[in-house]
Structure 1
Amino acid sequence: MGDLLIMAIVCGLFWFMINEQGDQKRQQLTMGKSLNQVTIMGNLTRTPELRVTPQDMSVVNFSLALNRSYKGTNDEWQEDTTFVDVVAWSKLAEQISGRVDKGNRVLVQGRLQSRSWEQDGVKKSKLEVLATDVTFLDKEEVQE
């Protein structure tokens, strides 16, 4: 019985040491850092149009409708749609332009960014996805 008790204590201490080290490593990895990654899939609410800024940068803005089905409290299926604004720059913007149309399904990877501006003396802000990659999911794409 004594050996079993000693073994249980040793195992408990070993487990505690492993967890303690794991917690310390987790704290070191997460202290002062953030994670800003977004992956969304939805349907385009309008056809993206390529614009060129005064600084000669290509940009395209579009919005995705993200549809969700769920059972409500009355056990009936409910539909919910979230609209998310997306912006893409440079070569990615040029690749998107002319390749997809309103209603097409796309997968967007990127990060969240906030923008703020003043309009008619009123401060406004917006949270949007800055796309780093866009995958066209429909078989037929708009032909240029």
Structure 2
Amino acid sequence: MADTITVTGVVATPPTKGTAAGTPVCNFRLASGLRRFDREQGRWIEYGTNWYSVAAYRYLASNVSESISKGDRIIVRGRLRIKEWENSGGKGMALDLDAESIGHDLTWGTSSFTRHSRREAETQTEEPEDIEEANDEFVVSEAAPPFDWHAAQPGVEESVV
């Protein structure tokens, strides 16, 4: 089981949209800068960057690919997977984030929102048993439960589209 975390950062690569086993997928890299306040200098100092490979699936992938671009400051909530790797150049760890929600970080600017109809979203939420990208970089082995629009939007009537 993976941990659910929230990360803020800058979209470092253009989001790429494709399909994995017939399911829409959007991938990009996220740079999350580390900062601390230096009292002696009286300013914030950058002291490193955490890099995440982010993958969004199904209707989230479609919305992300149309909404964010390289350089945007965003917030991502999702399941963290840490993978160790080794090749001829050395070894290290990769931080993969399977996104559950993504949005612009409004600390840095404004955004506008366009809601899709319930019918559109339902046609994009068909869950396959396994989602696997061709290069095996991102894998989700458990299908998420269907999204419950009424639980997420209390007070919204069913006739609203």
TM-score by shorter chain over 0.5:
yes
Query: Is 1:99 matched with 2:67?
Result: yes
Report if aligned partners of 2:2, 2:81 keep a CA contact under 8 Å in 1: no
Q: Which residue of 2 aligns with 1:62?
A: 28
Shift >3 Å, 4+ stretches: 74-77, 114-119, 124-127
1:88 aligned onto 2:56? yes
- 2:104 and 2:111 in contact (8 A); partners too: no
* C-alpha spacing 1:113/1:101, structure 2 compared with 1 (3 Å): same
User: Cα gap change, 1:91/1:126 in structure 2, threshold over 3 Å: closer, same or farther?
Assistant: same
Question: Residue 28 of structure 2: SS of its match in structure 1?
Answer: strand
1:47 counterpart = 2:18: no
Is the counterpart of residue 132 in structure 1 residue 100 in structure 2? yes
**3-state SS of the aligned residue for 2:22?**
coil
Q: 1:71/1:50 Cα in 2 relative to 1: closer, same or farther (>3 Å)?
A: same
* 2:138 alignment partner in structure 1: none
Q: Count residues with an aligned counterpart.
A: 105
Superimposed CA distance per residue, residues 102-126 of structure 1 (whole angstroms, 9 cap, x where no aligned partner): 110111111112568999xxxx974
Cα deviation code 1:60-101 (max 9, x no counterpart): 1111111222246x9445313221111111111111012111
Q: Which has the larger radius of gyration?
A: 1
Q: Which residue of 2 aligns with 1:36?
A: 3
CA–CA distance in 2 between the matches of 1:68 and 1:118?
25
Q: CA RMSD in A?
A: 3.1
Structure 1 equivalent of residue 76 of structure 2: 108
The verdict on how the C-alpha distance between 1:89 and 1:68 changes in structure 2, with shifts beyond 3 A counting, is: same
TM-score (normalizing by structure 1)? 0.58
* Partner amino acid, structure 1, of 2:30: L
Q: TM-score, normalised by structure 2?
A: 0.53
